[in-house]
Structure 1
């Protein structure tokens, strides 16, 4: 396993320039041919946030300020990370079928496919976070020193969802049923992860189960930066379970990569 870890890290370091270029190319391909171009990076999330805000404010009448911050900012701090994670749950777990030409036609390390795809989505998420910070400051919302931990949260996000992609993409390539199963997880993850509501009011057992949900941890950690003004690593009740899940997926990723990467090109 340590040999596989050394191999994967070595491949990513040796091909780091190609990984960065492929991530940028993937971003360009996503919005190629669109007149508004990069505006679409923010258009879809903005529409979703607006719809949720209207529904919660006028439908459920639940849109009061949270910890002295606007409810709309609280909502954006949960929905923006979700767009990154939603793509990783669906497409990120099946990247080998997304880029079959890299798998079959050229000599290219398979681990790099997950890396550059995750990196391309992280770039989009970073742009969303920068946009949120600018809008917050422009509207007079004070963002404190806890914003300094946002880059660290993004690093943990990158590591977990990279491990997720490397662990599950080989299985998805071999079995379409497994791929379809993973694509059905988007809706449960969305509604059971505290994106649209505060889970602090849940029963203790439910909160304990939710603490092992990586989507919940990411959303809560981003909100710690913008809303709750606390260091995410000080909340050990949620951080330690997340680290356990991260370690499990890293081990699973290395195991599946070692056992299955030779079979993937033959299947595709």
Structure 2
């Protein structure tokens, strides 16, 4: 399995069909904002509106403060936004993946079309939005008086390490979603639950050691904590954890793609 995984022609590495994927990602992004009055500005406004809503509820209404930090609203906003940035990556992929293949019946029935690229297109589109959100986070950090260190240059690595897991989730859920339509109904509540079992509204350091150890099994925990460390604390990432996270993601993506390819011949009969 390792030799096949390391082969650069494997879909995980996008060595093949990369130009097709780039064109489809571009079309996906343009279609998302086509016809709206504000156009691509929604890419900036959407994360800001979500952040404003959460800040109002948790900071304004419940008077919450960031555990282990000061009573500063700015600190609360930045910590929360860093967590939401990673959460939105996963939530968008999870909510869309079950219908990814079902929404493309014409492509499914074209034998020559590489259906595995649909997952790359979905991940590429959400990564574009994450890039915008990251720019907002960095700009807000500076505007609110915090100092960025050179470690902030490693933030793209943190986002990149989530790509294999996101691809694996896309291949797994989009393949199963063709045969099990209930997958789409299960994902919605699961995403809502994911918000509270991930260190978005709190840091892992605020939890008892046993619970914190369990939380590291959550695929959102490492990128959230790593992003906060790079941007808000100016500390380097745990390189060993980064490598392990990426390796596990690649293995998961490989297995998910293998399942996707195995059940793919039956897609045309179900769509």
Q: TM-score, normalised by structure 2?
A: 0.87
Q: For residues 204 and 266 of structure 1, what CA distance do their matches in structure 2 show?
A: 50
Q: TM-score, normalised by structure 1?
A: 0.88
- Please report how far the alpha carbon of residue 255 of structure 1 lies from its aligned counterpart in structure 2 after TM superposition: 2.7
Residue 145 of structure 2, aligned match among 121, 125, 140: 140
Q: Is the 8 A contact 1:11 1:109 kept in 2?
A: no
For structure 1, list consecutive stretches of 5 or more residues without a partner in the other structure. none
Q: Is the 8 A contact 2:164 2:252 kept in 1?
A: no
- Please report how far the alpha carbon of residue 137 of structure 1 lies from its aligned counterpart in structure 2 after TM superposition: 2.4
- Please report how far the alpha carbon of residue 226 of structure 1 lies from its aligned counterpart in structure 2 after TM superposition: 1.5
C-alpha distance 250-14 of structure 1, shift in aligned 2 (>3 A): closer
For structure 2, list consecutive stretches of 5 or more residues without a partner in the other structure. none
Q: For residues 138 and 243 of structure 2, what CA distance do their matches in structure 1 show?
A: 28
Q: Which residue pairs with 1:48 in the alignment?
A: 50
| More displaced 10-residue stretch of structure 1: 57-66 or 111-120 | 57-66
- Please report how far the alpha carbon of residue 29 of structure 1 lies from its aligned counterpart in structure 2 after TM superposition: 0.8
| More displaced 10-residue stretch of structure 1: 123-132 or 242-251 | 242-251
C-alpha distance 10-167 of structure 1, shift in aligned 2 (>3 A): closer
1:246 aligns with 2:264: no
Q: Is the 8 A contact 2:155 2:227 kept in 1?
A: yes
Residue 33 of structure 2, aligned match among 8, 31, 34: 31
- Please report how far the alpha carbon of residue 190 of structure 1 lies from its aligned counterpart in structure 2 after TM superposition: 0.7
C-alpha distance 267-5 of structure 1, shift in aligned 2 (>3 A): farther
Map 1:185-204 → 2, pairs under 5 A: 185-204=190-209
Q: Indicate the RMSD between aligned Cα atoms, in angstroms.
A: 2.6
Q: Is the 8 A contact 1:93 1:166 kept in 2?
A: no
Q: Is the 8 A contact 1:92 1:118 kept in 2?
A: no
